[in-house]
Structure 1
Amino acid sequence: MKQHEIVGYNRANLGKTESKALRIEGNVPCVLYGGKTQVHFYSPAILFRKLLTTPEAYEVTLNIEGDEYKAILQDAQFHPVNDQILHCDFLEIVDGVDIKVEVPIRFTGVAPGVQKGGKLIQKLRKLKLRGAAERIPDYVDVNIADLDLGKTVKVSAVQLEGVEILDGPMLPIATIEIPRSMRGKAA
């Protein structure tokens, strides 16, 4: 996984009023859980841009007033109208404990169905994986070199070492759609 660092500060007071005051100042209230203790902290909203605007999975180094934690972003909540970040949850990475994370899919190869005039339709953008943090890849590569017109590649075609795929094996990842102009010829 890619690396990112966020600098945070411990929260003295918890609650709705304090969280609202932090957001007005341009900070995001956060919580780190999954380790020995929960850590409530806040961090400037600008530091989250790289984490939230890309589909990639990041291992985050949280520097909270000198204490460093390794974590992944588990959840982010946004305001329904203006898309302001309201709250972020981080899951601490503990040695020997598996984590669950969604990793983006990347296609490799050229599909013969596309060369014949078909359209590649991506049904799934990310795969849910469980495993040790150091075994989680940046991307899940899916080979589409065998996809012809009307064919589909499913989750069962993906093989990863040391990582368990949590999505159903029959779930389609991508398919080659036959164009309307060619449907009469293909039948």
Structure 2
Amino acid sequence: MKKVEIVGYKRADLGKTAAQRLRAEGYVPSVLYGGESQLHFYAPAILFRPLLFTPDVYEVTLNIEGEIRYGILQDTQYHPVNDALIHADFLEVVEGKAVTVDVPIKLTGTSEGVIKGGKLNQKLRKLRVKGLSNEIPDYIELDVTSLGLGKSLKVEAIKAGGFEVLSSRNIPVVSIDIPRALRGTLRAE
């Protein structure tokens, strides 16, 4: 997994008014859970940018007043009108304890069906996996070279190494759709 660092400060007041004041000052109230104890903290909103606007999964180094902890961004909440980040939840990465994350799927190769005029349709962009944080890859690579017209690859085609795939095995990941213009010519053959 890729890594990023967020420097923050412990929260003394956990109420709604204190959280609103922090947001007005440009901070994001956050919580780290899943370890020995919960840690409530706040950090500047600008530090969350690499985590939010990417499909990648990051292991976050949380430096909270000199105390170093590791986590994975689990959930975010946004303002309903201006889409500003108003809260973030982190799952603490504990040595030897499995984590559940969504890993992006990267397609490689040029499909036979696309060469013949078909349209590549990626139906699943992320795959839910569970495993130790050091064994979860940055992305899952799926080769589509042998995919013909009207064919699809399902989750069961993905080889899991060191992690467990939690997504349903029957969900199609990618398919080659036959365009309307080609449908008539394929029936004639």
Residue number in structure 2 paired with 1:138 = 138
> Which consecutive unaligned segments of at least 5 residues does structure 1 have?
none
Q: 2:161 & 2:175 partners in 1: Cα distance?
A: 25
Residue number in structure 2 paired with 1:13 = 13
Alpha-carbon distance, 1:178 to partner = 0.4
Residue number in structure 1 paired with 2:31 = 31
Q: 1:82 & 1:122 partners in 2: Cα distance?
A: 30
Residue number in structure 1 paired with 2:45 = 45
**Counterpart secondary structure, 1:49:** helix
Alpha-carbon distance, 1:34 to partner = 0.5
Q: Which aligned segments of 4 or more residues in structure 1 are displaced greater than 2 angstroms?
A: none
**Counterpart secondary structure, 2:74:** strand
The aligned amino acid for 1:122 is Q
Please say if 1:99 is aligned against 2:99: yes
Q: 1:25 & 1:166 partners in 2: Cα distance?
A: 40
The aligned amino acid for 1:9 is Y
The aligned amino acid for 2:136 is I
Residue number in structure 2 paired with 1:119 = 119
Q: 2:52 & 2:10 partners in 1: Cα distance?
A: 22
TM-score by length of 1: 0.99
The aligned amino acid for 1:22 is L
The aligned amino acid for 2:43 is S
Q: 2:13 & 2:27 partners in 1: Cα distance?
A: 14
The aligned amino acid for 2:93 is I
Q: 1:171 & 1:49 partners in 2: Cα distance?
A: 31
Residues 102-142 of structure 1, C-alpha deviations (whole Å, 9 max, x = no match)? 01000011101011111101100100000000000000001
How many pairs align? 187
Residue number in structure 2 paired with 1:71 = 71
Alpha-carbon distance, 1:89 to partner = 0.2
Alpha-carbon RMSD across the aligned residues, in angstroms, is 0.6
Please say if 1:163 is aligned against 2:163: yes
Residue number in structure 1 paired with 2:81 = 81
The aligned amino acid for 2:128 is K
Q: 1:124 & 1:78 partners in 2: Cα distance?
A: 24
TM-score by length of 2: 0.98
Residue number in structure 2 paired with 1:149 = 149
Q: 1:186 & 1:9 partners in 2: Cα distance?
A: 64
Residue number in structure 1 paired with 2:174 = 174
**Counterpart secondary structure, 2:102:** strand
